Each structure stands twice: as C-alpha cells, then as structure tokens.
C-alpha cells in the first residue's frame, strides 16, 4: 500500500516530516481539520500516523496458509467450529462491525486443520465488507478447499453503523449460508441446529 508519489515537505506536518499529498496520513489530517480539530495540538500530533498504520495493518492482513488438510477419520463426519469472533468494516459507512461465526461442514476425504477456520474467517473479514457476503465468502472457500459441498456458516454481528449513527439502536444481525445437505430439513440440519444452540450464539432458524 506504499505510495509512489514524491514526498512533500510541509510546515503543516509535525516536525517538518515528509507527507504525501494522497497518503493516509494526509487524509487523516484533513479529516481532523474538517471536523474542527487542530491536528497539531497535543494528543493529536501523532494521530494521523496511528490512523494510517491501523488502516494498513487491517487491510494488508496476511492470513497465511489456509489449505492444510488431513486424511478424514471417517466420511460424513460433522465438524462444527463455534464462537469465532472477527472484526470487519462496513463498506457503506467505513464503520466496524464484529461478527461471531459458527462454521460446520461434513467431511469427505479431507479434514481442514482447525486453525485454518480462523485464518479463512480473518482473510475475508479484513476488507470492506457486508455481513451477508462475509459468511458466503467463508463458506465458498471452505467448500473449495475441502471438496465438500456440505458447508454451513452462521454469522451474528453487531454493526456500529447502526448502533453509533442513524437510529442508534443496538441490535444483532444474523446471516447464514447452508450448502449441500444443510439446505433442507433432515437429520444433518437438525444436528447442526442442536450444536449451534449449544454454543449459545445462534438463534433458532
């Protein structure tokens, strides 16, 4: 995300430091001025740098290897990973939302390494998102990696674009993707529902 622009020396920058006309640091300073703040006052002098650093760390997140597979102990075994919390950014307002994820899949020939669920979840959360797409992206990647169409992802999130602005009412939003055997009522879906409610983070559907 490093800028290719030539740096400018500016008396507006603290300590005569280099700034870039379209850098995140400059944008942060402009934002502070636009809301009536003084970016050179004590307490805000280093805020543009911190702001830029946070954005770069969040968007440039490296998930690492997500394709670690093991031989399945038995085919058609239900694997359920619950209560994983990730943070993402609403693409409509650039405000954060947190999402608690429950992920299930029915193993075929391969089992996905446990830590890879978290890596996949963070990979798709560390971008401008909407919750509906987040759960769909996670489900699609797990299906692609494991080769199993029987994947379900349930997300339950609180969105600051609702609780901090507009109506300013706290609420939890649930979105879910059901693939394969989980799409229709049956023993697999009932089993998934039992596990999800045992986790305490999934409403009845």
Residue 104 pLDDT level (bands cut at 50, 70, 90)? very high
Shared domain check, 48 and 98:
no
Q: Are residues 55 and 74 part of one domain?
A: no
What does the CA dihedral 18, 21, 24, 26 come to, rounded to 10 degrees? 70
Q: What is the pLDDT of residue 132?
A: 98
Residue 44 has pLDDT above 60, yes or no: yes
pLDDT for 20 equals: 53
150 and 194 share a domain?
yes
| The pLDDT of residue 8 | 37
Q: For position 21, what pLDDT does the model report?
A: 55
At residue 9, does pLDDT exceed 50?
A: no
Per-residue pLDDT, averaged over 86-103, amounts to 97
| Average pLDDT value for residue range 142-160 | 95
**Percent of the chain at pLDDT above 70?**
87
Q: Are residues 16 and 52 in the same domain?
A: yes
75 in the same domain as 168:
yes
Judge if 97 and 194 occupy the same domain.
Answer: yes
d(CA 34, CA 134): 32
Q: In this model, does residue 33 exceed pLDDT 70? A: yes
Domain hosting residue 25, numbered range: 8-59
Q: Is pLDDT of 75 > 80? A: no
Is the Cβ–Cβ distance between 127 and 59 less than 8 Å? yes
Is residue 11's pLDDT more than 60?
Answer: no
pTM greater than the 0.85 cutoff: no
Q: Decide if 205 is inside a domain.
A: no
Please report whether residue 2 resides in a domain.
no
122 and 166 inside one domain: yes
Considering the domain architecture, whether residues 53 and 129 belong to the same structural domain is answered as: no
Kindly state whether residue 139 falls inside one of the protein's structural domains: yes
pLDDT of amino acid 197: 81
User: Does 166 reside within a domain?
Assistant: yes
Q: Is residue 47 part of a domain?
A: yes
CATH number for the domain spanning 12: value is 1.10.286
Together in a domain, 193 and 128: yes
Query: 158-165 contacts: CB < 8 A, separation 24 or more?
Result: 158/97, 158/98, 159/90, 159/95, 159/97, 159/131, 160/90, 160/95, 160/96, 160/97, 161/90, 161/92, 161/93, 161/95, 161/97, 164/95, 165/93, 165/95
Sorting pLDDT into bands at 50, 70 and 90, what band is 179?
A: very high
What is the spatial distance between Cα 118 and Cα 121, in angstroms, rounded to a whole number?
5
The pLDDT-based confidence of 107 (bands split at 50, 70, 90) is confident
Which of these three, 38, 59, 80, is where a domain ends? Answer: 59
Residue 14's pLDDT is what? 47
- Looking at the 3D structure of the chain, how many domains does it have? 2
Q: Are 123 and 77 in contact (CB under 8 A)?
A: no
In sequence order, the β-bridge partners of residue 158 are: 98
CATH number at residue 128: 3.30.1130.10
């Amino acid at each position: 995300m490093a800028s290719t622009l030539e740096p400018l020396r500016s008396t507006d920058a603290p300590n005569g430091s280099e700034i870039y006309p379209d850098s995140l640091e400059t944008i942060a300073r402009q934002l502070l001025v636009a809301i009536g703040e003084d970016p050179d006052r004590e307490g805000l002098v280093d805020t543009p740098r911190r702001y830029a650093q946070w954005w770069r760390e969040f968007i440039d997140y490296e998930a690492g290897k997500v394709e670690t597979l093991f031989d399945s102990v038995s085919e058609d075994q239900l694997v359920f990973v619950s209560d994983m919390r990730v943070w993402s950014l609403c693409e409509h307002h650039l405000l954060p939302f947190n999402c608690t994820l429950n992920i299930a899949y029915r193993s075929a020939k391969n089992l996905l390494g446990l830590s890879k669920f978290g890596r996949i979840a963070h990979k798709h959360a560390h971008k401008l998102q909407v919750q509906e797409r987040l759960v769909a992206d996670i489900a699609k990647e797990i299906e692609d990696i494991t080769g199993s169409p029987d994947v379900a992802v349930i997300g339950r999130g609180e969105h600051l674009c609702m609780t901090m602005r507009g109506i300013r009412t706290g609420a939890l939003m649930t979105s879910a993707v059901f693939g394969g055997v989980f799409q229709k009522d049956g023993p697999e879906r009932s089993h998934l529902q039992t596990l999800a409610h045992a986790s305490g983070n999934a409403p009845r559907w």
